[in-house]
Structure 1
Amino acid sequence: MPSPHTPRPGRTPSGPDREATAETPAETPGAATGAAPALRLVAITACPTGIAHTYMAAEKLQQAADAAGHSIKVETQGSIGAENVLTAADVAAADGVVIAADKDIDLGRFGGKRIVVASVADGIHRPLELMERTRTAPVSGTTGPSAAPAGGGRERGVVYKALMNGVSYMIPFVVVGGLLIAIALALGGTPQAEGGLVIPDGSPWKHVFDIGVIGFQLMVPILSGYIAYAIGDRPALVPGMIGGWIANTGALYGSESGAGFIGAIVTGFLAGYLVLGIKKVPVPKFAQPIMPIIVIPIVATTTLGMFFIYALGKPIAGVFGALTSFLSGLTGGSAALLGVVIGLMLAFDMGGPVNKTAFLFATGLIAEGNLQVMGMFAAGACVPACGMGLATLIRRRLFDEQQREAGLAALFMGFFGIAEGAIPFAAARPAQVIPANMLGSAVACGLGGAFAVTGAVPHGGPIVALMGAIGGVPLFFLAAGIGTVVTAVTAVGLLELSDRRAAGRTTARATGRPTGLTAGLTEDSSFLLSPVPAPAFAAASVSASAPMAAAAAAPQATLPAQVFAEAAVEPSTRSALGGALTRDTVTTSLAAHDKPAALRELADLLGRSGCVTDPGALVRAAERREELSTTALGDGIAIPHAKTDAVERPVVGYARSETGIDWGAPDDIPVRDLFMIAVPERMAGDEHLRLLAALARKLADPGFRARLSAATTTDRTLTVLEDVA
């Protein structure tokens, strides 16, 4: 059996003295390695979405190792799980470790090894530099902290990863807690004379309800604790969780309400960075073993807890009182204006002091006979959760699989007036989600005030209306429905705008402007390709044979016939990409001369598979995607794609234009090679990620691109594409 460090089949190992093409203009193997001995390395690549960045970084590390005469085994931690997993024997035999990741990686298995930690972008753009740094990197004595890229300009990435780490652990608590509460109310609630539901004491459903409440109580410290863990590793977990519990327990600092999930975010970051600061304090060697398990957690927990109670708690309590006085001053004026303010407050922190102020204010007025304020609150209470749930349905590509599942749960929770169903989305993307929630809730509550909707019980959501506790039920549903749509549409718009801006920053990061294959890429959560420096595709790899290099330089060149040895199978049974691409969906003679005609022709090409039920709908979906930004990647390649129920299963087509088509490419090179990907909406999760990951790996290989360009017939083209597993 070959060694795990043996270069993969199809690659020709290159020594340090071989002529090589640089990964970047400053990176040449000869200059980097000199007479230094070859390295035996292991590596991990990973990115937050786990799509193409992960695999392209792995490919670049492998190519650079081959060029420099090093051996390397790369474990990829992508969206479909860990692949090419490093064994204990691999690690033991390695001279060093390269971590190219934008998510937390447990370094516990690499104790005693020289470790270089960098971003996944560095793995793509500077792979050889990372490997050479393992010669002088400090030896790790870790027992299991997480990796985080170091260096200038990385702080924003650390903050984002920490936030996403906390959200990913919090979501199960939100979903389980919220659904248990909703189920208990639905199945065990008893309708009251004044309306609403109450679960009788002693009922088994009361215990189910209480268990759900525990889930909600835990979600805030969980969010805080795992934000802290992502920053300061295991010593930060306890202070983060206890700090989150303190933030959510207003009684500890004289407030009628805790600080909610926003307080948890604050305590999570405070705990994480506090632990990092304590770690930098020099201590005697005899005290080092007890620092992470005793000293750091105790000092950080005490410091953070006292700071929150005495420094942050009183301002929070003051905000609570000031907001109550403000709302009291609005009563007797415009009901619509009061409703707008109530809506803004209830959606701002969803369970925090601002939300609780609005709720308790409305509840107190019920005893005075004023039911209208609670009617406003009830109309807006469902909007954050239902609005974000609706957003995950109308723009699935903006959300990952976990968020789409949370969206369905949020719809259910929203029906029962549980606004906390939107917290996972607000915690992950606060700048986009919180304004959308506030706007939708303000609209719903404002309309509720204008319509004179009333609420007789201190609760909200459609369930209260169905139980007879709402006055003006049709207008209540109209107000809540409009608010929900406003939140969903606003959230989708803000998220798409943010993603487009992020894509522009990403594609310009390496050179200061969009270049080569990086310029056409967008970082949405569904069709994401990683930025690749133009030289990687513009020149031949050192591992490519001479004919391949010639083909890369002259795409029309004809390679020897043996390069295209056909598989001994019937043409109709040949396929690539797990059967998504077949001979029927490959053509080397695209007739179209412009983008609209090409999309129609590609849709017809995919129709040959027999799984396209509506070619027109497929074209329209692809055109909508093109309106967001061009799918041209540069260097004559485009990957138009669509998620639509106009296809029954995932299907991929490939077409070549002899004349080239203006696709709005960033390098202005006409597109000659087009891959079209179409997947049903219901399968827009793992399936399209697998297709993209496979394509990304191959498109990063200059040898593959050279063979594809040189293939002159459908059968020869399919032979090349069959390499895409």
Structure 2
Amino acid sequence: MTENKPLIIPELVALDADAGPSKEDVIEFLAATVAGAGRASSPDGLAADAKKRESTAPTGIPGGIAIPHCRSSHVLAPSLGFARLVQPVDFGAADGRAADLIFMIAAPDGADDFHLQLLAKLARGLMQTEFTDALRQAADAEEITRIVTKQVQPELLDGGEEAEDGAVGEAGSAAGSTQGDGAVGSKKAAASSAPAEGQTVIVGVSSCPTGIAHTFMAAEALEQAGKDRGITVAIEGQGSGKIDALDPELIKRASAVIFAHDLPVKGRERFAGKPVIDVGVKAAVNDAGSLVDKALAAVDDPSAARVPSGGGSSEESEEGSEHWARRLQRSVMTGVSYMIPFVAAGGLLIALGFLLAGYDVANLYEKISISDYSLWNLPGNEFVHEIKNSADNVVGTETITVSQSGLLLYIGWTLFLLGQAAMSFLVPALAGYISFGLAGRPGIAPGFVMGVVAVQVGAGFIGGLVGGILAGYFAAWLAGLNAPAWLRGLMPVVVIPLGTTLVVGAVMYLVLGRPLAALMTGLKHGLTSMSGGGSAVLLGIILGLMMCFDLGGPINKAAYLFGTAGLSEASASNTAPYEIMATVMAAGMVPPLAMSAATFLRSRLFTKAEIENGRSAWLLGLSFISEGAIPFAAADPLRVIPATMAGGAVTGAMTMAMHVGSRAPHGGVFVAFAITNFGGFLLAILAGTVVTTALVIVLKGLGRNADGQGGKEGAEAQAAAAAA
């Protein structure tokens, strides 16, 4: 087989064809077309291989296009079968549009890099509207052949070579056709012009199971989306053939990474530490623009996911080499991260409910049904609660009086109930996503069930932690068993969730339930006792130190979880959880506020990048986003972290001493309505900020003198030395 053998000839083209009502019919029609042109030995065998590939993922793409494809032992030469259908057929495209342009990409089992690159160029062409418009407007099979050949093998036209079987004539220009990509096999770095100085760069990897279609369509779509936004996007297609690796210098310049893949990423460690958007390959084909936008947003998001550091060339190798303690820590953090939205949404809704309906709306919870009222039947301020015995007989009544009535009470009551509903997912979400972090998707269901069990037995968030960890490890163990072939398909959806729920659920109910409940009860009583007297100040100091130690890391999140978990236990007679929540929030606001103040007061002690970060850190601090101080702590941990911990301890002690309380789990000063003794709240934050600011300035000044360097140049030199 010569390298200039055409992929498409007129005999492989069917215009205005009626191939049948289903995609299976269309695949069989095109397989017969390829075999009829002498390019496949068995139409049935080729169709079977193509349908097998189709069953793994639909090959429809937005714009009325489908690309069924496969590598098959029945293919005699790399070929493109094409059909323009009279009646479009649904191939499962994301936009819901049925396909009228169908390419069957048929490659031999041993297709070499050259031909795979040609097929990749077709995949890129299909992402260009000029190319697809020309296909729809073409008058005959010869014109289709010229349009496609110009995209994938322009040298056959430009060189005036006659293709076999009279497929391609002299050089010609089909209306609306597009220019090819250039020489096959060129390096990505060479093919792409170097980005301009200061231009944003995003790099990434695309891959699909066969590596001859979606891989390169995703790359083309992402790179085009980058051009539309005035930035450089360079994607490495990890297809079946030779990989044109990204230039290491380009990776070094990149601000973010996009992985659009259905196979493990090769050489993942090259991108370590960069913000990452990680999706399946079809997500890039269907909506590349939103992925690029997300990557740009991740650049400035300190909490964005990042490519893990360390060796390994694939996801499996990274996970397999991960230390068990690190894996457990990561999984617990996963659970906490997924739990926080439930807490934040639920807590803020409850706080809004209190704002509108008054704090005594909580007295209606679980006693009076809101369904008895509506916008046309608004509640008053008195309610009668029937007290029933175990036989459901009324044995007495209780009159409940609240401060509000009418529309405000009804709306506030509704918000309060919505908040309580969200908060009820706190422990199940924690357990479910810890299990997910350890075992993947099969661990979610049993993890959630263990969270519900923990609530039922009174074990609270401690039970959720234990139940989620046990469920995750047991589900991962089941997943690692060598199941027979007939059972493998049922493992992730039936066997693992069912087996894990049965075994771990029994352990939680029969063995661990009572001890964990006793531990949780003891912890609650201990906290209640510490919240009064001198112990309250000590508790505030401890929480303040934890919140300011690693700024969004495990210790910070542990303190935050400690505060939020208690909100569901708070009441008018038990305000300790509110005080703990206020302490956690106030202390977490200190680091970014202090770093912003320090960069303003003594800018010569900081680098230009730190000064820029300081200009926005104050807003992050007011919003209770501790991560705003991470850039400062990362650049100079020995001076910044002790200073922030000192300020956090001062703030924590003061909030507990002044009995500041917060019914909202997040929001900083913007949830002032949910904070009792708001003046004390602000005073404690101010005191901690002053302490941290002063210590940072003093410590950095001492460090500057010791190093014998001054000004911004000295700070930048120190930062450069630390990074070297």
TM-score (ref. length: structure 1): 0.40
- Rg larger in structure: 2
TM-score (ref. length: structure 2): 0.40
